[in-house]
Amino acid sequence: MRRQDEEEMNRILSGFRSDETVLQMKQYVQHGNVSTYDHCENVARLSYRIDKRLHLHCDPDVLLTGAMLHDFYLYDWHRPDGGSHRLHGFRHARVAADKAKEVFGIDGKTEEVIATHMWPLNIGKIPGSREAWVVCIADKCVSLYETVFRR
């Protein structure tokens, strides 16, 4: 990755990397032995690379913020809890979008990136922007890699 791209990515993500609420994601396992925080960071990096490699001209703030917060739900979905985490795959995107809106006041375009990242599992929540499609695809790629190779 070019130095200029690395600097842009670090500039956009730096506030999240030091935010106490975002850092709570390090407490929860996402896939294999990867924390939710590391998973979101991996999705952000891959999303940015896809955008640059394919010359998609995504809005980098929307792309990276949506990617970094796409799993910002702050609970361990692996643990039984009496039912509130039931159907996690179908519900967590909306939970993460609502929490990101509450904590960071994200705009509608970024909210849509987060809320639609689970398509096609959430069949009615189709990504509606380049940024949303990139994060959705990057999330699938990273999740597969983490699940198969990071156990």
pLDDT given at position 1: 74
- Determine contact, residues 22/38, Cβ cutoff 8 Å: no
Residue 110 within a domain:
yes
pLDDT given at position 117: 95
Q: Residue 121: which of 79, 80, 76, 87 has the closest Cα?
A: 87
Residue 51 within a domain:
yes
pLDDT given at position 88: 56
pLDDT given at position 150: 66
Low-confidence spans in the chain with pLDDT less than 70: 76-90, 150-151
d(CA 58, CA 109) in angstroms, rounded, equals: 12
pLDDT given at position 15: 95
pLDDT given at position 151: 63
Range of the domain at 141: 31-149
pLDDT given at position 85: 56
Residue 90 within a domain:
yes
59: which 2 tokens? Answer: 């809005």
150: which 2 tokens? Answer: 């990071």
pLDDT given at position 99: 96
pLDDT given at position 92: 83
Residue 102 within a domain:
yes
Of all residues in the chain, what percent are helix, strand and coil, respectively (each to 5)?
A: 65, 5, 35
pTM: 0.92
Residue 95 within a domain:
yes
Residue 139 within a domain:
yes
pLDDT given at position 109: 98
* CATH number assigned to the domain comprising residue 42: 1.10.3210.50
Residue 80 within a domain:
yes
CA distances 13 to 9, 10, 36, 66, 143, Å, are 6, 5, 15, 11, 20
Residue 5 within a domain:
no
Domains of the chain: total: 1
pLDDT given at position 74: 78
